[in-house]
Structure 1
Amino acid sequence: MKKKLITMTSIILAVVLLISGCSGASEKDKEKILRTNNTSEPGSLDPALAQGTHESWVLDHIFEGLMKKSEDGDIVGGMAEKYELAEDEVTYTFTLRDDVTWSNGEPVTAHDFEYSWKRALDPETAAYYAYQFYYIKGGQAYNEGKGSVEDVAVKALDDKTLEVVLESPTAFFPELTSFYCYFPVSKDVVEANPDWAKDPSTYVSNGPFLLTEWEHNAKILIKKNEDYYDADKVKLDGVDFAILDDENTAWQRYEGGEFDFLTPLPQTVVAQLNAEKSSELVIGADLATYYYNLNNEVKPFNNAKVRKALSMAIDRQKIIDNVAQGGQLPAEGVVPYGILDENGKEFREVGNFIKYDVDEAKKLLEEGLAEEGMTVADMQNATLVYNTQEAHKKIAQAVQEMWRTNLGIEIQLENVEFQVKLDREKAGDYQISRAGWIGDYIDPMTFIDLWVTNGEYNDANYSNKEYDEYVKTAKTTADQKVRMDAMRKAETLLMEEMPVLPIYFYTQPYAQKSYVSGVFKPVNRYPYFIYADMDVDKF
């Protein structure tokens, strides 16, 4: 009898455990973890040191600046509940919310913002985006070693109040504070551990999600921050970013149900989904330009005629129709559509600086090479570097063939990892390289100031004093007409000298499963999952 009782008890216990186990698995399966792909291993997840979308996409979810983009695309209060602009039009006073904390439970203060911005400007930090803080009075002088940190006009008046004085009126400054280089870091954390950003166990942030796992070159997992002041709007439990640089493999995983969302997509897939009118395809707007850098310090790319010849020999419409296939527009300059001028009209209406003219290209190439004492044969070893992605490869192959057919130039192609490409561009270790730029804010300046002499992202190594003066004028005047005219002149000059070859104005096609909703694509950011949701009954 006793044996039977023990046996029966064991059976009941086993059944309970089985049911309990199944219930646990079911609940876990119902967790809203959105799965996607990040394409490249981040070089750094320190906001001051990040430099590309492979980093900013994650940072935009785990940090938050003074201001942020709402689900409607408006610039609204983030860490700051409000700001005031003084009558001098250069003094901003931001007031922080009462309920904002770091992921370690400590309060986010105005002192953290003062520390973070000055840290980004510190020459020792070597922040790629330090120049974006030059709008702040004393910022450029400090970064260039011509002034002191005390002269940088960012000051925490108390824990909740930050005062910022700009060099000149800058209408887009509130929006700029939503950009990732302006994200705060915890002064106490950074000073206590210089390697804080390298490991999730020591990582501290202030956004709607928290970094919980980082398996280098494999995956990044972020989980909902339950202490985020706006946590009620965050419906996902987390986002699982795989790190795969092969678009086709990523697409296969999406098709196989391993991803719920995917961008970028192979170009053939975009074309196919477009033709099928697939409900899973979304063509997102993008304030971005796809272009090629020409290293202006290397012969014969130091010659403007050679550069213009290379540009004129590219049939951009053919690339869009037959290769890119994502609704892109042929580039007409470096500034894309989507930015308004002082009259509320498209800035791009300044004109189309790009033309396809093979005969003129041949003429300019011959003249330019002669000026450098070179021939077409001397260009046969020129190499175009692009980061590993099927789309970049196909575009590079198309351009390679156009230059071969139209100009008789046999260039070489080399694919490398994205971070390697960035490092080589910074070192000037290339001749031609694939590049792209997404506007940091919605103003022509976010493109125009890329090519000032010694600019941090002037990877073409272009230098022109007249161009620099136009940019300086645009940055130091409060007169919008004078400002816009200076940027129009700057772009005109840039396209006359063609240090870079604009190819097309981006779109950002992405695919999302039917059970995913609420994904928001800002015009100048990668898609936001902050307001996304998943129907647990459908996945």
Structure 2
Amino acid sequence: MAFDNNVQLDRRSLLRTLGAGGIAGIAGCTEGGSDDTSTTSTDGGGDSDGTESTETQTTDLGDTLVGPDGEQVSLSMVYSTGSETTKTIAQFVQQEYGKLGVGVELTGVPFNTMLSKYAQNTYTPDDGEERTSFNAGPRDEATSQEQWDLMLGIGFNSYPRTPTAIRPFWTSEEKRQQSTVNFYGYRPSEDIAGMLDTASKETDDARRQAILANVFGVLSHDQPVNFYEFSVDLNGFQNDIQGIDPGPSIGYNYQQYFRGDSGGSPSVTGAYSAGAGTDAKTLNPIRINDTSSANRLGLTLDGAYSLDNENNVVPLWVESIDTDDKQNYEFTLRDDLQWGAGYGQMTADDWVYFIEEVHQAPENWAGDVNQSDWFHGEDPIPVEKTGTLSFEVQLPEVDPAFVMKPVMWGAYCLPKGLVEQYRDVEDGGNKLNQSKAIQEITYSGNLGPYTFERWDRESVFVAKRNENYYLRDVEGYDGTPYFEEYKYQVFGEESTRLSAFETGEVSATGIPSSKASKFEELESTKVIQTPNAFCSILAYNQRANGWDQLRTREVRYALSMGVNKTTIVENIDRGYAEVAHTHQPEFSEWFDDSKVETTGVGENYGAAIAKQMLADNLSSDYGFE
């Protein structure tokens, strides 16, 4: 999870804002931030790393792509603000598309606005009520509030531990049984969802790898988005912050952080402040699908269990997990978990009710953004109470990786007594969402290291030390947490956030690559690098309010070939990144470069080759002049 918070929540974060500043969790968050845009190559960057473009090819296509109206084709790009890096990449893409004869109009908005007004779409079926989600319905009918063609500043979690968890991104927009994240309206050329389902139950690693290699090959071929980079996370801490366990899951033990000398014993001190570039969208665990929101809620709720840097289960609410056949998994809760607001002890009844009446509710009355986790195809996954504190998830097929999947890993629950108040009332989902219980997390009890104090939108989220924290007497957690207060402070400008970190106003923040060496050299701060599994993407809107030519695979492919990924990695991100070509990083054991088609590098980069592909595949009423 970002911002050294309890990492298990990142398994819920399908999407992540890029370049806004954050501390890495299981997969990390993409940092960056170039204040000096003069370093950005505008000539393709081929000389910087030996990657030769095809710019020297000669064609007679012309310099301007003209549409049916006789005017130059101009695409609208929305990008998330808060980081100079994201803005610089947007400007670079604009320049690259200019070489293709395509104009680009840039619009910068806050990340949460980009999600709500551009990514989310609305659809009203003939026999139902209007619904809004990241894949509300067929691409011809479900459109976003604001028009867009290209979207930048968003990352997709690639889940290298459990790659079949990427399924919500690549489920066709025609499937509406569960909520998914295909906001761009992609229709796969092959049954990606089916392949992922098959891979998820395959116990032979070689066969599983072969299936997944095909998935990532199809994605690189189809280019539903331009997969352009996986960044390295640069996590900045004040030098006196101790207890950090560096690694891909940095932050899983954030309850054990303390302020003091290296090698010293922890003790309770003042406040810990995390500098953030993006505020939360919601505190409703049912509707959270972004890291910023998960970070805030995660201070007050631990979730079921976490995973450490070696993929070992770290028990939290769930004390033990038992399975004999890798198909039926029994989860046993600790016996000292107490809800707040008078809802009593957390029991298996809470979990079974929450799974069946929220996650698996056919009409998705609560607006659950993660429903697909709890279905196998069209069928809900059976869940059965086996004791007062235990329940069993009964998978339809063997799944040896289930514990590491974003289903129970880091899963939340709400009190049955709270949810059932709204289950069968009109507009119950919105009424629950607007309740004091959700807005102020009054039900959290002893279930997290901190309790909600206040949330000033776009400013600060403050939580105070929970004196009744259930882990406090558990070995390894003695006396945790070690701060009287934990807060997320939002800075609209990256420079202001970094200045606050330099002066010690904030305890931790994400460091842009352009400033890494500075903070590495300061005696008062330290920078820890972690691998990043969030794939930075440039999304192509294939829905009805996007450029209709984006529905043609070859057009998307040509646009991806027209952007030099090496320049982005080497010149804009200062080398703190790796070029991406599909939805899996090369460090993943599931990546097979023999299956992946490359774009934006070598012979598959350049204006000439991209323009020719556009000319060959655009509809006949387009042409170059």
TM range (shorter): 0.5 to 0.7
Q: Quick check: 2:283–2:441 contact (8 Å CA) kept in 1?
A: no
Secondary structure of 1:230's match?
coil
Please state how far the C-alpha of 1:128 moved relative to its aligned partner.
Answer: 1.4
Please state how far the C-alpha of 1:132 moved relative to its aligned partner.
Answer: 1.7
Q: How does 1:323-334 map to 2 (within 5 A)?
A: 323-325=572-574, 327-334=576-583
Structure 2 stretches lacking a partner, 5+ long: 1-267, 423-431, 473-477
Counterpart selection for 1:220 from 461, 464, 482: 461
Spell out, residue by residue over 1:425-477, the C-alpha distance to the aligned partner (whole angstroms, 9 max, x if none): xxxxxxxxxxxxxxxxxxxxxxxxxxxxxxxxxxxxxxxxxxxxxxxxxxxxx
Spell out, residue by residue over 1:225-262, the C-alpha distance to the aligned partner (whole angstroms, 9 max, x if none): 23222222432333111123322221122223211111
Please state how far the C-alpha of 1:276 moved relative to its aligned partner.
Answer: 8.0
Determine the C-alpha separation between the residues in 2 that align with 1:225 and 1:362: 60
1:92 aligns to 2:329 (yes or no): yes
Q: Quick check: 2:302–2:410 contact (8 Å CA) kept in 1?
A: no
- In structure 2, the residue matched to 1:185 is 414
Please state how far the C-alpha of 1:126 moved relative to its aligned partner.
Answer: 2.1
Q: Quick check: 1:176–1:182 contact (8 Å CA) kept in 2?
A: no
Letter in 1 for 2:579: P
Determine the C-alpha separation between the residues in 1 that align with 2:288 and 2:469: 23
- In structure 2, the residue matched to 1:353 is 598
Letter in 2 for 1:353: T
Q: Quick check: 1:39–1:54 contact (8 Å CA) kept in 2?
A: no
Determine the C-alpha separation between the residues in 2 that align with 1:340 and 1:50: 29
Determine the C-alpha separation between the residues in 1 that align with 2:577 and 2:489: 27
Equivalenced residue count is: 329
Counterpart selection for 1:200 from 432, 440, 458: 440
- In structure 2, the residue matched to 1:173 is 402
Determine the C-alpha separation between the residues in 2 that align with 1:197 and 1:141: 31
Please state how far the C-alpha of 1:184 moved relative to its aligned partner.
Answer: 1.1
Counterpart selection for 1:307 from 556, 559, 568: 556
Secondary structure of 1:286's match?
coil
- In structure 1, the residue matched to 2:529 is 283
Letter in 1 for 2:550: F
Q: Quick check: 1:102–1:204 contact (8 Å CA) kept in 2?
A: yes
Determine the C-alpha separation between the residues in 1 that align with 2:594 and 2:492: 37
Larger Rg: 1
Please state how far the C-alpha of 1:374 moved relative to its aligned partner.
Answer: 2.1
Determine the C-alpha separation between the residues in 1 that align with 2:549 and 2:520: 41
Q: Quick check: 2:305–2:409 contact (8 Å CA) kept in 1?
A: no
Please state how far the C-alpha of 1:348 moved relative to its aligned partner.
Answer: 5.9
Q: Quick check: 1:129–1:181 contact (8 Å CA) kept in 2?
A: no
Please state how far the C-alpha of 1:364 moved relative to its aligned partner.
Answer: 0.6
Counterpart selection for 1:130 from 358, 371, 387: 371
Letter in 2 for 1:288: F
1:120 aligns to 2:359 (yes or no): yes
Please state how far the C-alpha of 1:52 moved relative to its aligned partner.
Answer: 0.6
Secondary structure of 1:99's match?
coil
Determine the C-alpha separation between the residues in 2 that align with 1:240 and 1:209: 10
Which structure has more helix as a fraction of its residues?
1
TM-score normalized by the length of structure 1: 0.55
Distance 1:32 1:107, change over 3 A: same
Structure 1 stretches lacking a partner, 5+ long: 1-29, 143-151, 378-539
Distance 1:42 1:204, change over 3 A: same
Please state how far the C-alpha of 1:326 moved relative to its aligned partner.
Answer: 5.8
Secondary structure of 2:299's match?
helix
- In structure 2, the residue matched to 1:318 is 567
Distance 1:34 1:69, change over 3 A: same
Spell out, residue by residue over 1:30-73, the C-alpha distance to the aligned partner (whole angstroms, 9 max, x if none): 83311112322322111111111111122333223332234765
Secondary structure of 1:339's match?
coil
Q: Quick check: 2:302–2:317 contact (8 Å CA) kept in 1?
A: yes
Determine the C-alpha separation between the residues in 2 that align with 1:314 and 1:34: 41
Letter in 2 for 1:310: L
Identity of aligned residues (%): 19
Q: How does 1:50-449 map to 2 (within 5 A)?
A: 50-70=288-308, 74-87=312-325, 89-104=326-341, 106-118=344-356, 119-122=358-361, 123-135=364-376, 140-141=378-379, 152-176=381-405, 182-192=411-421, 194=432, 195-200=435-440, 202-204=442-444, 206-231=447-472, 232=478, 233-263=480-510, 265-270=511-516, 272-273=518-519, 280-297=526-543, 298=546, 299-325=548-574, 327-341=576-590, 350-351=595-596, 353-356=598-601, 357-358=605-606, 359-369=608-618, 371=619, 373-375=621-623
Secondary structure of 1:212's match?
strand
Please state how far the C-alpha of 1:221 moved relative to its aligned partner.
Answer: 0.9
